[in-house]
Amino acid sequence: MPYERTPADRPVLALSGDRLVIAPRTAPARRASTNPYRRLLATPGARAFTVGNLIARLPMGMFSVSAVIMIAGSRGSYALAGAVTATGLAATAVVAPWTARLVDRYGQARIAVPATAIAALGSLALLLCVHYDAPAWTLFASYAATATTPNTGGMSRARWAHLHRGDPAALHTANSFEQAADELCFMLGPALAALLCAALFPEAGTLVGAVLLMTGVLIFAAQRATGAVFGAMEVVTIAHAGGAILALQAAGSCVAGLLYGSLRPAADIRRRLLGCLAGMTALMSLPLLAAASTDSLLALAGALLLAGAATAPTMVTGMTLVQRLTPESQLNEGMTLAVTALLGGIAAGSATGGWMVEHTGQVVGYIAPVCAAALALAITAAGVRAPRVR
């Protein structure tokens, strides 16, 4: 009986340069399919825009930590530092949706580059105001000017959504990859910011962050192809143990995000989000327990590592829900609105965390992120009875 090719063995058409060629569908295709992340990054143009986006996102983990260290060090007040960062985040929550709407209308490159330039100037203005001991109101005004920073993570997710529309599995992997990239930046960013501020001068973290942001957005633009939990945790942890230890929470989230992206998610996305938030609420209590029961930084480090484990799955699930509910022509705006809601929570958390550290003590400050996670869980539970999105 003659050999008959199975569908997996039949040749396929492939693009080589500007020519169509016949290529066998053999082992390489199977190897790529076994690793969803390798297959994801094999998408034409994906690696190039991912590199630029990672450079642009690294400062997102640097700016607030640098500002807190810089302001608290020069003015002696964590409450002021938390209030300034909260003001900048609140301004971003207002401005970012308009920036994203312009991105959807005119394209990422035409809007993101000038918007980033304005934000970088705002960061440099903050640096100068702190260095030359300008009045406190100038700190608020300068940091508010950074509100034009484009949502580079949202723009990257919008590109993936366009490239993999109609392929939920690939989009799930892409969203998990993007969340892991976010956590990687929030793992390295605080440590880098703390190192620069300590080793060089207090303004070094902000200065390097502004340069990286502008460079990364320029690279990205050239390629054409729950918030209160985190804000409160950030300020309280900086006051309690320094900025570098924040990297452990992001590390736990990064690993969890990569593992989550390799799994087949449950079909009911709303109940999936509810489960993720329940896990986050439970895990966010660990830093509080560690800080209250012992003075060991090792115990706090382990608690922060575990606390981050529920973050990435929660964010991935939330962004997937947003992508399903948002028309393709408004993806940048839709995802930015989700991020600005997150930023609003971070702003409230930063201000609350700074106030609690200064008036009630560092350990008690860890109550804020636990309460924020519990509130998010309660709100989500109340909405589970709404019509389901599959």
pLDDT digits 0-9 by tens, 209-261: 999 998 888 888 776 574 455 555 555 556 555 555 666 667 777 787 788 87
Q: Which two tokens stand for residue 269?
A: 């996305």
Q: Which two tokens stand for residue 117?
A: 């330039």
Q: Tally Cβ neighbours within 10 Å of residue 316.
A: 28
120-158: b or e for each residue (b if 16 or more CB lie within 10 Å)?
bbbbbbbbebbeeeeeeebbbbbbbbbbbbbbbbbbbbb
Whether 234 and 345 have beta carbons less than 8 Å apart is answered as no
Cα separation, 233 vs 349, in Å, equals: 8
Q: Which two tokens stand for residue 279?
A: 């896990």
Return the pLDDT at 141: 92
**CA 72, 74, 78: angle at the middle one, nearest 5?**
15
Return the pLDDT at 245: 60
The DSSP bridge partners found for residue 14 are 21
Three-state DSSP state, 150 = coil
188-222: b or e for each residue (b if 16 or more CB lie within 10 Å)?
bbbbbbbebbbeeebbbbbbbbbebbbbbbbbbbe
Q: Tally Cβ neighbours within 10 Å of residue 104.
A: 19
Cα separation, 86 vs 83, in Å, equals: 5
Dihedral angle of Cα 356, 96, 274, 374, to the nearest 10 degrees: 10
| Amino acid at position 51, single letter | V
Domain boundaries in the chain?
A: 45-383
pLDDT digits 0-9 by tens, 23-62: 444 444 444 447 888 888 877 777 777 888 888 888 888 8
Cα separation, 254 vs 311, in Å, equals: 9
Kindly tell me the sign of the dihedral angle through the C-alpha atoms of 162, 164, 165, 170. negative
Q: Which residues in the chain come in under a pLDDT of 50?
A: 1-33, 226-227, 389-390
Cα separations in angstroms, 331 against 18, 40, 56, 227: 31, 20, 20, 20
Q: Please tell me the CATH code under which domain 45-383 is placed.
A: 1.20.1250.20
Return the pLDDT at 171: 83
Return the pLDDT at 102: 86
